[in-house]
Amino acid sequence: MKRFLTLLFLALIPVVSSGQDSAADILESRESFQMKSLSSGTYSVYCKIRINKESAESMGRITIFTDRDRSLSSFSATITNTAGKVIKKLRRQDLDSRALAQELADDSFVYFCRPLAPVPFIVEYEYTLTYKRGVPAFPSYFPVTGENVRLEKGEYSVEVPKGTKIQYSATVEPDIVKEDFKERYIWRFNDYQGFESEDKMPPAREVVPHVYASPETFMFSNVEGKQGSWKDIGLWLYDLQKDTWDLTEEDKAKVREMTSGCTNTFEKVKVLYEYLRKTTRYVSIQLGIGGYKPFPASTVSRTGFGDCKGLSNYMKSMLEAIGVESDYFILNTNRADFDKDYSSVGSMNHAMLAVPLKDGGIMQGDTLWVECTNPLVPLGYRHDDVAGHQVLLIKDSGGDFVRCSRYADSLSRLENKVRLYVASTGDATVNVSQRACLDFVESRLRLYEMSEKEKSERVAGNIVVTSNNPKINSIKDNFRDYPLKGRDYVPEITTDYSVECRNYAESNGDRLFIPMTPLRNGFNWQRGERKNEVFIETGSTYLDTIEINVPVTYEPEGLPKPVNMECSFASFSSSVKTEGSKVIVVLKTVFKAGRYPKEDYAAYKTAVRKFNNLCTSKIVFKRKQ
């Protein structure tokens, strides 16, 4: 799903490592923000990093964002070898630059360079940004953003005029230095030994050194606001939107005409949702106040594009034109819960629309959570980025917390029904009916838009043996069935396809050695010692039923023994039986959402290894005497 604001959230999942044989060492990292007033400040960055391995070269990359509210005042960098010999010096003119949104503005740029030299080498750089139209939040501090990177010395400081209230969320508490006219908050991080990726681990922000900080009273693009509470933030955002609900009379008349035949709110939303899909496209817009304020509805209507804020606001304006109530809301797609002790406009990264249904019947009392950046999402589906999350409704009375209900883990399913026809030569025909439900639907929403070649390549990717002539027989979904089930609606899509596989089975004349399943199966598992707890955000079920058909002149010589294993957060089971001349294999895996002690991973590792071995095993058929 598309994003509301550009924030730094690390993709890697951390665990403290031994610190030996690090890919890179951050020898020193200093960042500071000097706030001079609500509208101005200076951000200074210094970093010295030793790149030890080619895999960590990206850690030396320098990326600087500017726009109309902040400009690059100075920059310098030096590349040396570990003996101190200068390899290259860089100045501002050596930075590459690129406009972030050329069709919208010419004052939003990214400056970047990637220093390279034979490893090991050292990159030392510093730069200064000048803020001139407001400071909604101080730059976040994440010194370590790569795996197996040590931090020897890190410091982040914020200096504000005396009496300025700030709020923060950090992995350590700051030292506070008070002087006559200013106050300084200093966070220090020393000897952090780095992290390495682990299977099924908590989010990186939980253990990677970091600081979020912001002033309670702020200015951004010359617009003042308060963020001492989430209610304050809601009021500020609501006030920003007031002049954006400006559909032209012509657009309003068009909306009324399009929905004139609708008998309830859902039908009206459905018509406008389809119209949104056909007439607009998503473009990320983070310029100045546009990082928080939606583009006017009239602008989106005229240009045909917008970001999640603009498209959600446009949809809200169209609904308002026909008397349908809706609530614009913001959320963080990476976290289910708000930080109640740190309320900042920079904490959210997405915007959507909530439409209460008050028309009676099965939909009475339900709410449509409308994803305006991707109208392929079935109406009535609470997709993975919002289901179970707290959201902040933006109202004239301020921000109002509600929680979007999540689905039961058991409803998130991926089921494969496979009919396998194996000839005596070993060649095979594979017919698959794949049913994807809930979260598994999201990666399949664009199947309808793909060419036949793209569809074939997509489904053939599920086959683990050599195959050709993939053929899509049908794609079916229930995306329009929400009115039949209301809040109990669960989207699903079924894809039927077939492939031809040469030499699928090994044949030696009297016997056929047939792989038990032609599909990608089994699960990844982590080798080595477990360092952190297990985290599964969303539960899921995988179910494969494989029917193996062979010539009547063959019979199974032996069948694999059933498997039934489980640990605290997963279970694995299988059954293999004969039905006449057929062999029926059933494989099932269930993952349960939650947090579990790291000690539980050992049982999972044992179970998944046995299950993976089963999935890759072969069933032997012998020729009848």
Three-class DSSP category at 456: helix
**Is 605 a domain residue?**
yes
The mean pLDDT value for 224-248 works out to: 93
pLDDT recorded at residue 285: 63
Nearest to 416 by CA among 597, 589, 554: 589
User: Which tens digit of pLDDT belongs to each residue from 96-146?
Assistant: 988 765 445 446 788 999 998 999 999 999 999 999 988 889 999 999 988
The answer for 426, left when phi > 0, alpha when psi is -120 to 50, beta otherwise, is: left
Residue 421 sits in a domain of what CATH number? 2.60.120.1130
pLDDT recorded at residue 4: 35
CA atoms of 480 and 379, how far apart (whole Å)? 8
Written as one letter, the residue type at 436 is: A
Residue 329 sits in a domain of what CATH number? 3.10.620.30
Number of domain units in the chain? 3
**Whether 316 and 364 share a structural domain:** yes
**E strands, 102-215, in order:** 109-113, 121-131, 138-141, 149-161, 166-170, 175-178, 182-192, 211-215
Written as one letter, the residue type at 445 is: L
Which structural domain range is residue 360 located in? 227-403
**Whether 83 and 167 share a structural domain:** yes
**Is 101 a domain residue?**
yes
**Is 510 a domain residue?**
yes
Residues 6+ apart with CB under 8 A from 528: none
Q: Which of residues 213, 247, 263 is at a domain's end? A: 213
**DSSP symbol at 124:** E
**Whether 489 and 372 share a structural domain:** no
**Whether 233 and 298 share a structural domain:** yes
**Is 358 a domain residue?**
yes
The answer for 528, left when phi > 0, alpha when psi is -120 to 50, beta otherwise, is: left
CA atoms of 157 and 139, how far apart (whole Å)? 11
**Is 14 a domain residue?**
no
CA atoms of 491 and 380, how far apart (whole Å)? 9
Which structure tokens are listed for 607? 């179970």
**Whether 619 and 478 share a structural domain:** yes
**Whether 506 and 432 share a structural domain:** yes
Q: Which of residues 403, 431, 458 is at a domain's end? A: 403
* Statement: residue 468 has pLDDT above 80: no
- More confident: 582 or 204: 582
Q: Which of 12-21, 89-98, 318-327 has the lowest mean pLDDT?
A: 12-21
The mean pLDDT value for 259-274 works out to: 95
Q: Which of residues 213, 244, 261 is at a domain's end? A: 213
Half-sphere exposure at residue 164, Cβ-oriented, CA atoms within 13 angstroms? 26
* Statement: residue 10 has pLDDT above 50: no
Neighbours of 562 (CB within 10 A): 12
**Whether 328 and 392 share a structural domain:** yes
User: Which tens digit of pLDDT belongs to each residue from 279-336?
Assistant: 998 887 654 445 788 989 999 999 998 899 999 999 999 999 999 999 999 999 988 9
**Whether 139 and 262 share a structural domain:** no
**Whether 544 and 567 share a structural domain:** yes
**Is 19 a domain residue?**
no
Res. 491 pLDDT band, cuts 50 70 90? very high
**Is 221 a domain residue?**
no
Chain centroid to Cα 310, Å, comes to: 20
**621 phi and psi, to 5 degrees?**
-115, 135
pLDDT recorded at residue 386: 95
Residue 56 sits in a domain of what CATH number? 2.60.40.3140
**Is 56 a domain residue?**
yes
**Whether 346 and 370 share a structural domain:** yes
The mean pLDDT value for 370-383 works out to: 94
pLDDT recorded at residue 123: 97
**E strands, 325-424, in order:** 327-331, 350-356, 367-370, 390-395, 398-403, 413-422
pLDDT recorded at residue 100: 65
Res. 5 pLDDT band, cuts 50 70 90? very low
Which structure tokens are listed for 123? 């990159």
**Whether 314 and 441 share a structural domain:** no
User: Which tens digit of pLDDT belongs to each residue from 536-570?
Assistant: 999 999 999 999 999 999 999 989 888 899 999 99
Burial class (CB in 10 A: 0-12, 13-18, 19+), 28: middle
**191 phi and psi, to 5 degrees?**
60, 45
């498209």: which residue's tokens? 311
**Whether 311 and 426 share a structural domain:** no
Give CA torsion, residues 197, 198, 199, 205, to 10 deg. -70
